Structure 1
Amino acid sequence: MYFPFLRGKQFELIALRELVSLPLDSTKISPIVEPLKKNLNTIATAAKALKTLEVKVQLIVNPQYGDLKNKTEDLLNFITSQKASFGTDNLIPTFLIENSADFRLFYSFKTNPSYSGYPFSLIHQKQIPEVDQIVEYMTKGEVVANIIYVNQILALRRKFRGITSSLLADPFNRQLRNSDYLDNEDEFFSNDYLYYSEEGYAGFSDYLTIGSDFVEGGRLPYAVAIHLTYLDSGSGDIRIHHFLSDTNHDDSDTAGKFYEALIKLIKFIDNHKTPETLAIAKFKEYYESQAYPGLGVIKKLSIMHHIELMQSVMK
């Protein structure tokens, strides 16, 4: 199983909705969503669309950022109300475990009669003192996913003997400025999909072509970058190519800079005979029409392409 880790930004949620037409395979893909905005309508819409395919959404109920930080009960109420009102039962309460406060939230959930027998997922970012107590509350039938950040993988796997776990990594090599990607235009990204099963994991997760760093908005970039993952047919590795604009001396003409980067992307996929995903088809449309869709759409297409790629390479 692949768990793409998304934050609940508009274009990330639109990416999930548009991938329904692929269609997404519920036996291979289960997105993690960390909600950021108080208005949860976009998450509700995405969850309903994914429900048609029985795709589970691991919805983080103790987000680290945004309007819903410290609003766990509100998010749990949202999950139960979506199920009761619309039959949207594919939203799985998911707890980030980084400190003792996170454990207390999980403990409150597990000991609340209202949630007795309710399925849940855990994402362990650090090993905390209460880890043995967490194990006690992990009834097999209730745990949908038990995901461990790669830095903690060895220590926590020993704690979770007998409990099927998945791994979370952040292979995206984020740069301070887009222009810095010129130093590493083509990089290794990941090969977790090749080895996770034989290494005893139930699945794997990453932060796609976004990275784990939380970035809220920002000014217009001097350089436009399009990040595209692809399969290296020789090694079987997933690599990432960064397509950069050329005229990067100021923040003017973002549309022109996008087209400069897009020309390079189109040439690359033609030379490498890259299979056409939904996102690549859209990039080709923008190339033919010379239209500029906006930075949010570029990010959305990069996300869509990576998820479709991962689904296509998984057995």
Structure 2
Amino acid sequence: MYHPYFRGKQFELITIREMAELLAKMNFVPVIEPVRESLGGLKKTLSAVCAAGGRAIVIVNPYHGDHQEDGTNITCLLQEDFTGVGNISAGILLRNDMKVEEVMACYGQHASHNPVLVHAGFTAPKALAAALDDSIPGLTNVFVEDHAKLLYRKHFDQSTRILVRDGFKRQRNADYPEMEEFSDLHVTYGDLGMAGFGDFLMVGDAYTEGGGPAYAVAIHLTFIDPDKDDVMYIYHFVSDTKDTPTDPAGKFAQALAKLIAKLDSGTSHILETEAIEEFRVLHAKGHFPGLGYVKKLSMKHHIETLAHHFG
């Protein structure tokens, strides 16, 4: 049902490992695009997913990061360590520079890993659907909404279809509004003829190698509003200090104080998840765990919120 799309940086992989039990229990299927040269963290993560009895889709031809020229090492990892493991699928990322023949070659190469097609800019859906022909009913197609509109998706309507929407409007931390709409796809995906939905969590689809120093620190937290047809919204708790690249710990404390005040107001609609519990502990201790860790807590909270919605 839910397919969170992760770029496989350190804290993204740790999030999946720590959430492996819940992901498996809810039948949530992470899509992982490995972006780091070392695949040790990915192997550990996929092992955790398997141990929990969950499923995952691993992009074998990443568009971003260290493997964008050559995904051979990812294919080797799947073949050496996850052969015969039905719950790890090879994801084939279909971009605008790919030809049908390349897609089919990659599909054939990964046939033993239950391949999933991830549509993100590909321009020949009709020809591809014709080439796949009899395989389509057994196939899962994941569509990144910005690149695969309704007419595009119709070519694959005999398959299992998942729609991924980027609900995160990325901007400079200092410029975020206090709150905005994130997505209604978790409510509407069935009406759109989809078997499931996904998003890029509160990281967004725009890929960056690593941020520079943060002039402002923002904590991004999603919530579902039962008074508004269960639409999901996102809060941006931004530090007051925004004009200097120093003192991230002080800025985090400012943003966290705003988060705690909103929680304690009783009107936030933020679910009291395990991640929120951890934010409360950090506030009580006055501890700054680092920005990567803060992002991990936001991602965990997002997954916990959706699990509660469907639970």
Compute the TM-score of the two structures, normalised by the length of structure 1.
0.90
CA contact (8 A) 1:37 1:68 kept: yes
Q: Which amino acid aligns with 1:13?
A: L
CA contact (8 A) 1:93 1:120 kept: yes
Counterpart Cα distance in 1 of 2:111 and 2:295: 39
Q: How many residues align?
A: 306
What's the counterpart of residue 240 of structure 1?
Answer: 234
Moved more, 271-280 or 247-256: 271-280
Q: Which amino acid aligns with 2:13?
A: L
Shift of residue 126, structure 1, vs aligned partner: 2.6
CA contact (8 A) 1:97 1:103 kept: no
Counterpart selection for 1:305 from 264, 284, 301: 301
**Aligned pair 1:265/2:265, yes or no?**
no
**Aligned pair 1:170/2:163, yes or no?**
no
Moved more, 245-254 or 25-34: 25-34
CA contact (8 A) 2:35 2:67 kept: yes
What's the counterpart of residue 108 of structure 1?
Answer: 105
What's the counterpart of residue 150 of structure 1?
Answer: 145
Counterpart Cα distance in 2 of 1:246 and 1:117: 53
Counterpart Cα distance in 1 of 2:241 and 2:161: 46
Counterpart Cα distance in 2 of 1:55 and 1:116: 20
Counterpart selection for 1:251 from 228, 236, 245: 245
CA contact (8 A) 2:65 2:209 kept: no
Shift of residue 274, structure 1, vs aligned partner: 3.0
Cα deviation code 1:13-62 (max 9, x no counterpart): 111111135x2245531011110112111011111111122221111111
Q: Which has the higher contact order (CA 8 A, sep 6+)?
A: 1
Report 1:179-218 matches (<5 A).
179-181=174-176, 184-218=177-211
Change (3 A) 1:252 1:106: same
CA contact (8 A) 1:167 1:205 kept: yes
Q: Which amino acid aligns with 2:8?
A: G
Change (3 A) 1:261 1:27: closer
Counterpart Cα distance in 1 of 2:170 and 2:90: 29
Counterpart selection for 1:223 from 216, 223, 231: 216
What's the counterpart of residue 121 of structure 1?
Answer: 116
Change (3 A) 1:95 1:147: same
Shift of residue 132, structure 1, vs aligned partner: 2.4
CA contact (8 A) 1:28 1:311 kept: no
Task: Could you tell me which runs of 5 or more consecutive residues in structure 2 were left unpaired when the two chains were aligned.
Answer: none
Give SS of 1:234's match: helix
**Aligned pair 1:39/2:34, yes or no?**
no
Cα deviation code 1:115-134 (max 9, x no counterpart): 44541111112342364234
What's the counterpart of residue 52 of structure 1?
Answer: 51
Moved more, 51-60 or 9-18: 51-60
Counterpart Cα distance in 2 of 1:178 and 1:65: 23
Cα deviation code 1:139-174 (max 9, x no counterpart): 25752x311122322112221132221111111111
Shift of residue 110, structure 1, vs aligned partner: 3.3
Task: Could you tell me which runs of 5 or more consecutive residues in structure 1 were left unpaired when the two chains were aligned.
Answer: none
**Aligned pair 1:132/2:132, yes or no?**
no
Give SS of 2:234's match: strand
Give SS of 2:66's match: coil
Give SS of 1:165's match: strand
Q: Which amino acid aligns with 1:281?
A: E
Shift of residue 88, structure 1, vs aligned partner: 5.1
Q: Percent identity?
A: 34
What's the counterpart of residue 276 of structure 1?
Answer: 272
CA contact (8 A) 1:36 1:68 kept: yes
Give SS of 2:80's match: helix
